[in-house]
Structures are given as structure tokens and as C-alpha cells.
Structure 1
Amino acid sequence: MTSDMATERKSLVAGNWKLNGSSALVNEMNQALNACDFKDTQVVVCVPSVYLGQFSASSFDVGAQDVSSHESGAYTGEVSADMLAECGAKWVIVGHSERRTYHAESNAVVAQKAQRALEAGLIPIVCFGEEESIRDSGDYVEHCVKQVAVVVEHLGIERFAQCVLAYEPVWAIGTGKTASPEQAQEVHQKVREFIAQKSAEVADGMRILYGGSVKADNASELFSQPDVDGGLIGGASLKADDFKAICQSA
């Protein structure tokens, strides 16, 4: 199913600063983004949690890059969903491939983190995607659907409807490689078809972002695909002019 309702889903562009940033960059982004009218595009900047309270966002939202799967307790170094919300976050990335790879986060942990985010009133951006070996094997659709399925099963379809998804082929993150518009569309469409098996309404409304070496010069072509509803932007989100151009492409 290629959704005929793509035009009814509001485009979303989320920046992910990763382990980058400074108070100076916060100030630069505040000025640059608040001066823009993004019209029908929703813009989010996901930053290291120490910077959340420094934003004075009016034309965009701020979000965090991770959240604890625990509510509270003896978990030194972790940050709870309630804490993030109290610091001004409205969104949070969960299950980014770097968390899955470097911190051994399982699909079950990602689902638990999405639950904690929703309980605190945050919108989780749930990431999924395949490594290059899985892409080469031809099993990439099944791999991606399984990652999403665990979250659906844990949350239930009604709560899952409050999430945003982000497809990030691991082989295209920070490598300079980008999935072609056709490759991105294929996975987005197949994941939407899986969700439609649970609820056609949720599938039609679910925003699925693409993340993986998105730049100002390739954003428009990627975002023009019927099942691509915006992007999760890494390196280009650290440069105000590039990030604005990508947001305007959406």
C-alpha cells in the first residue's frame, strides 16, 4: 500500500546533534530557526540533554536523543523521561542505530523506552534500519518490519499511533552513502503496509522519516516520495543554513 493520504501527514524534519554542540551553537540555532516560517513543516532539534533548557524555541521544538527505560532509581548517569519533559523536551529519539550498536539496545529495550517517553508526554521518534550485510542479503524489509513490530506489540496499536518512525539504513549514516529515493520509498511503504495490517487508520497517519546522509541537495528528491514524510538529519543539522534549507525542502 502506497498511502494516498501522504499529503495529509504534516512533514517533519528532526535534527540530531549527536555528541556535538555548544552554548554558542544553541544561540545560533535559536536566532536562525526562530526567524523562519516553516509553514506546513514541523521542525525539531534533538540535542544533548544538557542544552535543553537553553533554547527559546518558538518556530520549532526541542527534543532529546535518548531516554532511560527506567522511571527512577539507582541508575547512575541515566536521564528519565519526566526529567527531559521538565527541561523543555517535547520529543525524544529512541532506538537510534548508534544506541543499538554501541550500547547493545535490543528491540525490547527500545520499545520500553518508547513507552516511558509516551507516559511522560514526549513524542518518541522510533528508529529502525538495517546494516549493510542485511541489505546485501536481501532480508532488509523483514529486518525492519521486525524492529517496528516489537514496538507495536509492546505499546499496542493505539499508543503506537502517537509515535513517529525514522528509517535509518545503518550503511548510510555518516558514511556519505544515501539510500536512493526508490530504496527509501520501498522500505517506508513496506513498513506502512505492516502497520496497516493492525490499523489502516494508524498506517495512514503514521509519519515515517528517512535518516541517512540527508543534505540540502538531496532532501527534496527524498522527501518527494509518497511514503517519506520528512527526515532525521545528522551532520547537516549542525549548520544553520543547511538545516534551514532541508526544512524548507520538506
Structure 2
Amino acid sequence: MNKNIPKIIIGNLKMNGSLAFFDSYLSALKDGLNNENKVNVGLCLPYPYLSQAQSILSGSKIGWGSQNIAKFENGPHTGEVSAKMLNDFGVQYVIVGHSERSTAYCESDENIAEKFNNVKKHNMTPVLCVGENLIEREAGIMEQVVAAQIEIIIKSFGTKIFENSIVAYEPIWAIGTDMAASPEQTNHMCSFIRKIINQDGLNEINNLKIVYGGSLNSKNAVQLFGLNSVDGGLIGRASLNINEFIKICQLAQSFKT
């Protein structure tokens, strides 16, 4: 694991906002964090506002990204957005595999693996979401579930594809609820994810970051960021409140990974 590296905080705004909202939000975020160098911050917005993010955040220390990507390069794929299109807007981060998408749009692990590879091919940083649902957690098979989500990528593209990547442990039962995983649960699963990717220490993957997502907020951030296995956070609902999001980013400054 890297040492003395700032935590990384990625905001996922989901399907929220407007031109007016993001004009205010992005400007406030830039003003609130632009002088900070003790935390890395990225913001994943809906597609229509990527140009706005590029315009406002360019030259700042804040990165921007998208919440999805097509597995295709181009062609007759109505409604899809390609990697090259995202490159045009300076996108740095791309969320892949979020449970809200995989559930609503029946995305398979194989499809997510192809998207992950497409992000890497076009020099962006994937934020791969993995996690178990409540039934799987209660059945004690969370490791098997998460391992399967990761191993399909390793089988298809090898372990080195995880270099310069982010994996977010997001237990599905914690997303959009008040049921954040405990520090013990988080530490166990984030350590397990790193072990799977590093293949029990046989492969050291450079600049792999394991973060936690799932009802992470300013009240539980210190506990979770204090875990050695956690390199940062993927913030959903709490990122909609600009003051709350800035506070989470500021709390992360006190920790290194």
C-alpha cells in the first residue's frame, strides 16, 4: 500500500442538478477547496453538465468525471456516450458498475468489465463499484460475491489493469440508507479487495486505491478514513449538499494512505 499519499474523495451527484445548481455548486467547491493539497477530489456529474465542470474547474485541483460510459467505441448505439466523447470534455474519472445502474439496466459483470477496460484504454481513471446486497451479507457470502465481480476483470484483462484505478466497496444495503457499514466490516472488505487484486501479495499493483461508499457522511467519515485499508470515499447523497461535501473533503485532509 502507498504511504503518505492524500486520501481521494469522489462525489457522485447521480441524476441531480441543473445549470443554475452546478454554476453555484462548482464555483463554491472551487472556492472552498482550491487551496487544499492534502486531499484529492473528483466530482462525477450527469453528462449534460460535463462542459460546465470543464469550464469552471479547469485550472483548479478538482477533477471531474462521468457516472457511466459505453463499452462501444462508436456506432449505432442510441443513447450511449463513448470514451472519446468523454475525453473531449477532459473527463478524469468514470464510475463503472454502480449497483443503481447494474440493477436498473441489468448490467452483467462481463459488461462492466468491458466498460472498465474501455476507461483504461482512453487514459481515464475508472471508479469500479463492487459490493453485496443485504441477503448476501446476512448469508455470509459477501467475499464470494465481491471476488466474482473483481475476478471477471482479472480473467479478461489481467491484474495490471488495476494500476492507477479506484475500487469502491459499496455494500448495496448501505446505499441511500442510514445503514453505513461498520468500521470493522469496511476494514475487512477493503482489505479483502486489495488481497484479491494483489493475489495474496504475488502482484503489487501500483497506485490502486480502495475507497468506501455507502451512506458516508461527515458524521462517520473520521472513523472510516482512519482505517489503513481505506484510501478515501465515494460520496453519494451527502455530496448533494455542498457544505457537507466540502466538510467531508476537509476531514479527509487529516489522514494519509
TM-score normalised by the shorter chain: which range applies?
Answer: over 0.9
User: Residue 255 of structure 2 aligns with which residue?
Assistant: none
1:42 aligns to 2:45 (yes or no): no
Instruction: Report the TM-score when normalising by structure 2.
Output: 0.91
SS in 2 for 1:111: helix
Q: Distance in 2 between matches of 1:249 and 1:148?
A: 30
The answer on whether the counterparts of 2:84 and 2:122 sit within 8 Å (CA) in structure 1 is yes
Aligned positions, number: 245
1:32 aligns to 2:35 (yes or no): no
Equivalent positions of 1:7-86 (< 5 A) are 7-35=3-31, 36=33, 37-55=35-53, 56-57=56-57, 58-86=60-88
Question: Segments of 4+ in structure 1 off by > 3 A?
Answer: 5-10
Q: Which residue, 87, 91, 100 being the options, matches 1:98? A: 100
Q: Distance in 2 between matches of 1:182 and 1:85?
A: 38
1:136 aligns to 2:138 (yes or no): yes
Q: Distance in 2 between matches of 1:8 and 1:145?
A: 28
Gaps of 5+ in 2: 253-257
Instruction: Report the TM-score when normalising by structure 1.
Output: 0.94
Equivalent positions of 1:51-200 (< 5 A) are 51-55=49-53, 56-57=56-57, 58-197=60-199, 199-200=202-203
The answer on whether the counterparts of 2:159 and 2:198 sit within 8 Å (CA) in structure 1 is no
* Counterpart AA for 1:45: L
Gaps of 5+ in 1: none
User: Residue 204 of structure 2 aligns with which residue?
Assistant: 201
Q: Distance in 2 between matches of 1:9 and 1:137?
A: 36
Q: Distance in 1 between matches of 2:25 and 2:62?
A: 10
RMSD: 1.4
Q: Structure 1 residues 22-31 or 123-132, which shifts more?
A: 22-31
Q: Which residue, 240, 243, 246 being the options, matches 1:241? A: 243
Displacement of 1:9 = 4.0
User: Residue 214 of structure 1 aligns with which residue?
Assistant: 216
Percent identity between matched residues is 38
